[in-house]
Every structure is written in structure tokens, then in C-alpha cells.
Structure 1
Amino acid sequence: MKSIASHIEASVIAQALDQSVNAVLLTEAHEGEGGHRIVYANAAFLRMTGYGEEEILGQNSRILQGPDTCGEVIRRLRQCLADGTFFQGSTINYRKDGRPYVVEWSVSPVRGASGEITHFLSLQQDISGLIAAQKATQLFDRILNATDDGVVITDSRGTIEFVNKGFEEITGYGLTEVLGRNPSMLKSGEQNADFYTEMWNTLKQGHSYKGTFVNRGKNDQLIYCDETITPLTDENDTITHYVSIFRDLTTRVLEEQMFREMVRFDGLTGALTRTAGELALENAFMQSRGSKLPMSIALADIDHFKQVNDQWGHSTGDVVLKTVSGNLIAALRANDSVIRWGGDEFLLIFGGCDLSHALLLAERCRQAVADSQHENVGVVTLSIGLGELRPDEALADLIERVDQAFYRAKKTGRNQTQVSTAEEPPAVGI
């Protein structure tokens, strides 16, 4: 009965080994030239190596080694076999057709009834796919970290699972500070809810969303980003992740803002440039028409400015222009505008101001300039033409009327304000 039970048990063990997903190899313990011969290889081992059973039995397992097999690992294996101790390691082996694969295996001694080692049992697994996946992941990380662009990967709920070095450089936040959090932590408050609603509506439809985001970094500074967010889906078209790639545009945006400021304001005087001033004038005109509020403008010119340049040089003339412009800006209200209209001419916009109030402001400007002393030059004065926009009058007609009033101020003695009205009032000033 005992032999029958042992036979049944051995049969079950053999079936189990043959059906195992791991490769199993049994070798003799005998050393020497013909030692460590393979006496058993299961089906998984044969599939892994490509050898037939009749080709592998009786062979030494070194038949699987090749040029990239690690010599140090093999030396350690042989030492463990000689010592009769457990071995575990991995290296590159070769299939029958010469193709390499990465094997991870363990070897245990099998002892007989008297305790002597009779065989070695090896359990092996082809981990080439795992190694390839690890290498792909490492390469993926290297690629993502090689770019200066920021990369964020979140799950379908928006929880951050990965950020690259570019993200850390741009935002100032490290990986450990953002894992498990939501990218909304970067919101600056500069963009309204409609912006984000449009973004989510696009993403939930499975489409990529591209836009300029104004985020806030760890240092509390605004970061302008050109960003593309792409949803990733599985085989059932279910969104599993979102990938965001963004480029830091902050330097460029700030440079553009600075450039716009330079274009908007005259570099010498600080007044609006002619181009920016024409736009301001048009806006004031449209606002007056829409609100039915009054609007007045004035054209001011520095008296005898050519003589200043001729006598003291253009550098002194530039100082005078800058000082006069500063006087005008300081004398006016915050919502008024000073435009360098050309050369030494300044156009002033008095929004929401009727003619009587505009005359007070114009005179305040004229007096502020007259009260200033300029090195070498002494006192300079202004001639000013002033007018209020009439009902149904075109902006060009208003400018023409003010221009005529300005020339009257020049012709009738300078250092005065001439007003353009239906009646022709006397000049105001000295």
C-alpha cells in the first residue's frame, strides 16, 4: 500500500511541475567534466528556452550561457553549488535560436536520506518583459525630466500622480509636495470660473484643451503658462488620466507688457504716445457719446521752444519737455490724460468735464508750468487751445476747433488759454 501511495504522490508532483508556470530544472549534484547534468526540465522551461526535452536532458546548464552572461553571477552560483548553499540571482541567458533573455532563478540543494546532496533544484523565470518595462519607465522618466516644459499626470479625479523636474523648476514645488494633491493648488485667482468650466467641458468630451493659464508658484509669484491638457482613455474609452504639458511664458509675457508700456508711454516725457493717445481720445469720445457726459480737450504748446533748443541745445530742451510733461500730469486729475501730440505739443483729455471746469484745469496746467524754473532757461510758458465736444460733433471737428483756438493763443501773445465756443470769448492769461 505504501509503494502505491508513493507512486500516486510522485505522479501528482510530476503533473504539478509540468503544469507550473515557472520553469523548473533538476540537475545532478555530481561535479567534474560531465557534472551537473540536467535530468529533468518541465514544460515551462522548454518553452522558455526553445529546446526540446531530448535536446536538453544530459546537458550542462552552461549550454544556456552566452557573451552577455554575467561572469560574476556564474562564479557566485558555482561557489554556492560547491558549498551546498542556496543561490539566487539573475543574468542573461540564451534560447536555442540565440535570442537573449533575462532569467531570474534560485537553486536549492536536494539531499538524500543520509543528508548528502544528490541534486540541485532550480526554479527559473523569464523577466525580460519586466526588465524592458522598467527600462522603458526609466527612459520615460529621463525623457520627461530632460525637457524644460512642465509635465503633470493626474488620475481621472485630478489627483496628481507624477510631475517632472520641469514642473518643479517652473512652480517651485517639489514632487513630494504635490503628490496626491490637485493642480487647482496652482490657481492664482486671475481667471474666472467660466475659464475652468470651458476647460472641463472640453476635457470630459475626450478632447485636448489648450490655453494660457495664469498660475501662482510656491513663491506667490504669477506664472504665465501655455498649457495643453490631454485626457487618456482605456480600451473602453473611459478617461483614466490627464496629462498636462506647459511652457513657462512668464519672461516673455513680462517683456511684452514692458514693451507695451514702452509703446504706450513716451520714453522721454512719460506722457502717452501719439498712437496710444489717439486710442485714448477715441475711447473718451465713445464714452462721452454713450454716457451723455461732457468731454473737453486742450492742445498745449511750449512757447518759444525752438529758441530753447537753439540757445541751450537739445539735451536742455529734452529736460524742459520732461519737466513740462511732469507739471501737466501732476496738475490734472487721475482720470485725465496727457498725450505727447508731437514735438513740444501736448493734447490733454478732460473726461466728463464741461468747458467751464476744463478751463479751470487748463489754467491750472498753464500756471503750474509758468511757476517752474528751469536751469539756464529760467521760466517757460504754454499757449493752450481748449474746446468742449458739441452734440453730434465729430471728433475730428473738435480737434480742428481746438487747434484753431491754440493758434489764436499763439498769435495773440502766448502764455494764455483760448477757448473755442460759438461766441469768441477773450483770451485768459497773461
Structure 2
Amino acid sequence: MDNNRRTQLLEAAVEQSFNPVVITTAQLELPGPQILYVNTAFTRMTGYTTEEVYGRTPRILQGPETDHSVIQRLRDRLWNGQSFQGTTINYRKDGSSYWVEWNISPIRDEAGEIRNFVSVQRDITDQVMAERERRLLATALDANADNVLITDRSGAITYVNQAFVRQTGYPLKDIRGQQPSILKSGEHGPEFYRRLWETIQDGGTFQATFTDRSRDGTRFHMEQTITPVRDERGEVTHYVATGKDITERVKMEQALEEMATTDLLTGLPNRSHGEQLLDRQWNRTERYAEAFSVIMADVDHFKAVNDRHGHDAGDRILSWVAGALRSQLRDSDTAIRWGGEEFLILAPHTGLEGAEELAERMRTAVAGHEDPEVGSVTLSLGVATLREGDTKKRLIKRADSALYAAKEAGRNRVSSV
């Protein structure tokens, strides 16, 4: 290929280039380099025609927001015969601004002398604006009082805001790439997480109250919403979880529930809640045909304690007895303050012999205690085991009858029917 043909191809390539191209003289002293050539992409970017810029300096593109420190670095590099890359704000013919990225290189002749500068430019306004919006969004998310967590479609964490960091103790650098399961408290079972993933993978939004655990082991409660994020093709690319800390509200609700279901003196379930627990256990027993026993316990001569020593002493005795009963319970057992000085113990999976042994341990635990003011405290206990055709009322009545028999037989003993 001859030189003329090669030159024609180069000129055509530059003219048709997508990127704006400017060639100037190498004159750096005032008035500065003069424009010798611009391609069509340059005229589209700036609004100037070729004739309007020929012989003028690139300073015609500068304006109020042009970064003059960038211009100075540009001059310093060119004075030293070096290439330059940078960005700043330039201005079009109509006065509108745009962000431009330059790559400026010296052109040398055969002797190595710099004769011209060539600048390949790119309008990066859209990228700069997108980056500003991204930073603004990140700033807004960090300023948000609610926790924000973003994962990719596989569930790997890609972003957390400052509220999340404060809540959990995990900064992004320590948790990036981890799964949100790092926060699991053990409060939710597999079914909970299965429903979560099925919902969001199907494109739905999942809302629930999560009980999570922070880095130091502290449990907290979040009212959380998890939403899929889709790209322009409708494909899920990320998941965004936003959560409001409701720990104090949950604690208050739990305290109110405890007040409603717990006997304040003994700390045991009260009669109302105890009947609900009995119903649940009864239904389970019927469903699985399991053994089930109940024990009715009563503090002996309790009226005399109140009459002789006062109600404060009586309350102290009841509280201590409740603790003694609780100390003998197995994991599946439940002790209930049934009323006054009377306690009901539910013993699931337990036949008559096992229930009698449990009742005897309770009797012994109480009888071994000597109150400094009241003296010896004892219990009488009645045991009843579920029989075919029993109702709850009939089972409790039999335990009550056994308790009455223990009282009649001299108290401080276990009786069964």
C-alpha cells in the first residue's frame, strides 16, 4: 500500500471515529496551541462547526466550572513532552456544559521534535451523572435510620448501610460476600427460610419479623421487607432488604404477654394460661396416643400460715414452693399456679409410676426446707393418669380427689387414683 493510500485510510478512520479528535499546533506559549483539525464527532459534541474552531485555541471550550488545576497539570505534562489523561467540564457553543475525558499525546517529527498535539476525547457526562446519582443514593441509604442490606441473586452480601453496621456490628468489609444467614439467631426454623426463598425467587416480596443476632451475640428484632431487583430484561439481579428495629416494641409486647400469662408472685403460668397449656397438651396427647399424667399439689396448713404470720410470710412460702417445684421438673413438664396455694403439674409422656416418682421428689424437696419464721412447710400431692374415655375435667377431678385423700391420710404425702 502506497503512502497516499495509507494517508487516505487514516484520514477516513479519524473522520469517522466515534470519539471526538482534535489536532493542534505545539505552541504552548500564549496565545497557546491552535486548532488545525477536528473530526465530525467533535462538532457533534461541541456544537461548533469546523470553520468556527480552526485557528482558535481549545480555551474556547473552557468556562466557569472548568477545573483550572486540571488545565495546569495538562500544560505541565505537555511542556515536558509527556502524554496527559484527565477530565474536566467543558462548554458547548450554546453555553451548556458537559464532562469530557481527554487523552492528549505529542506528535513528533523524524528528528524527535514535537510538532503537534492530538487529543482523543470522550463525552462522559452520562457516566459522571450516573456516578453522582449512585453516590447520592449511597449517601441517602447511609443516612437512612432503617437497616438496608443488598445481596446478589445468590444471596451474597454486596452492600450494607451504616444503620446496619450500628445494629449488627458488622462493617461491609467484614461481611461482603457473606450470606445473611450469618445473622441467624436460631429462632426461626427451616420452614421460615424456605418460605422466604420461595417467595423472593418467584419475584414476590417477603415481609416478616426477624429475630437476628449481632456480632456480639445480642439478639434483636427487625420488621423486614425483602424485595427482588430486576434488570432491563426483567431478570432478578439483586435482593434488597430494608428493616426497622422493633426490639423495644417486641420486648414491651413480651412483657405485657408475660404479665397476662404469668403469675407475678411465683413466676409460674397463671390459671388462665395454664388452661391453654393443658388444652395444647391434651390435643397432642390425643393425636399421638401418648401417656399423660397430672399432679395436683397443695401447701399444707397454708391458711394457718397466713393467719399466724401474715400474708407477707404466706407469699414468701408460695414463692419458695414454686421454685422448689420448678427445680424438679423435667424439660417436658409444666408447673402452673392453679389457684391460692394449689399447683397443677402437667407430666406428658408419663404413666402413673413415673408421675408418682415425680410427685414424691417434689414432696421431698419442699419437706426438706425449714422457713426461719414459719418453720416446716409440707405439700400434699394427688396424682392421676389419663384413662381411656377420660375428659380433661374428669382427669383433673381425679387428681383433686387423690389430693383430698392425701390430706385425709395425714398430709405431707402422695396419693394416686
TM (norm. structure 2) is 0.75
Q: Deviations over 1:72-116 (max 9, x none)?
A: 223344455666654443211111122111122244445667776
Q: How far is 1:344 from its partner?
A: 2.6
Q: How do 1:385-396 residues align onto structure 2 when only pairs under 5 Å count?
A: 391-396=388-393
Aligned to 1:345: 342
Going from structure 1 to structure 2, the CA distance change for 1:344 and 1:118 (only over 3 Å counts) comes to same
> SS at 2:36's partner residue?
strand
CA distance in 2, matches of 1:387, 1:244: 56
Going from structure 1 to structure 2, the CA distance change for 1:294 and 1:187 (only over 3 Å counts) comes to closer
Q: How far is 1:359 from its partner?
A: 6.6
CA contact (8 A) 2:299 2:377 kept: no
CA distance in 2, matches of 1:22, 1:347: 87
Going from structure 1 to structure 2, the CA distance change for 1:160 and 1:375 (only over 3 Å counts) comes to same
Q: How far is 1:357 from its partner?
A: 7.4
* Comparing 109-118 and 134-143, the one that deviates more: 109-118
Aligned to 1:207: 204
Of residues 46, 51, 57, the one that matches 2:48 is 51
Q: How do 1:393-408 residues align onto structure 2 when only pairs under 5 Å count?
A: 393-399=390-396
Aligned to 2:19: 22
Q: How far is 1:50 from its partner?
A: 1.0
CA distance in 1, matches of 2:69, 2:78: 14
> SS at 1:318's partner residue?
helix
Alignment pair present for 1:323 and 2:296? no
The one-letter amino acid paired with 2:150 is V
CA distance in 2, matches of 1:30, 1:361: 104
CA contact (8 A) 1:384 1:409 kept: yes
Aligned to 1:245: 241
The one-letter amino acid paired with 1:163 is Y
Alignment pair present for 1:160 and 2:118? no
Unaligned regions of 5+ residues in structure 1, if any?
A: 422-430
Going from structure 1 to structure 2, the CA distance change for 1:356 and 1:81 (only over 3 Å counts) comes to closer
CA contact (8 A) 2:212 2:222 kept: yes
Q: Deviations over 1:156-185 (max 9, x none)?
A: xx2736132556666666655655566667
Alignment pair present for 1:278 and 2:282? no
* Comparing 73-82 and 107-116, the one that deviates more: 107-116
CA distance in 2, matches of 1:350, 1:197: 34
Aligned to 1:300: 298
CA contact (8 A) 2:31 2:57 kept: yes
Going from structure 1 to structure 2, the CA distance change for 1:408 and 1:46 (only over 3 Å counts) comes to same
Going from structure 1 to structure 2, the CA distance change for 1:128 and 1:254 (only over 3 Å counts) comes to same
Alignment pair present for 1:130 and 2:111? no
CA distance in 2, matches of 1:419, 1:79: 104
* Comparing 268-277 and 107-116, the one that deviates more: 107-116
Going from structure 1 to structure 2, the CA distance change for 1:417 and 1:184 (only over 3 Å counts) comes to closer
Going from structure 1 to structure 2, the CA distance change for 1:209 and 1:218 (only over 3 Å counts) comes to same
Q: Deviations over 1:305-326 (max 9, x none)?
A: 3x54455444333221122223
Aligned to 1:97: 94
Q: Larger radius of gyration, structure 1 or 2? A: 1
CA contact (8 A) 2:297 2:379 kept: no
Going from structure 1 to structure 2, the CA distance change for 1:311 and 1:121 (only over 3 Å counts) comes to same
Alignment pair present for 1:149 and 2:147? yes
Q: Percent identity?
A: 38
Q: How do 1:77-116 residues align onto structure 2 when only pairs under 5 Å count?
A: 77-79=74-76, 86-110=83-107
CA distance in 1, matches of 2:272, 2:290: 26
Going from structure 1 to structure 2, the CA distance change for 1:360 and 1:92 (only over 3 Å counts) comes to closer
Unaligned regions of 5+ residues in structure 2, if any?
A: none
Going from structure 1 to structure 2, the CA distance change for 1:107 and 1:379 (only over 3 Å counts) comes to closer
CA distance in 1, matches of 2:333, 2:226: 44
Of residues 139, 144, 147, the one that matches 2:136 is 139
Going from structure 1 to structure 2, the CA distance change for 1:242 and 1:209 (only over 3 Å counts) comes to farther
Going from structure 1 to structure 2, the CA distance change for 1:176 and 1:304 (only over 3 Å counts) comes to closer
CA contact (8 A) 1:38 1:57 kept: yes
Q: How far is 1:399 from its partner?
A: 4.3
CA distance in 1, matches of 2:157, 2:73: 40
CA contact (8 A) 1:303 1:415 kept: no
CA RMSD after TM alignment: 4.6
CA distance in 1, matches of 2:107, 2:330: 100
Aligned to 1:426: none
TM (norm. structure 1) is 0.73
> SS at 1:89's partner residue?
strand
> SS at 1:243's partner residue?
strand
CA distance in 1, matches of 2:32, 2:213: 70
> SS at 1:346's partner residue?
strand
The one-letter amino acid paired with 1:43 is T
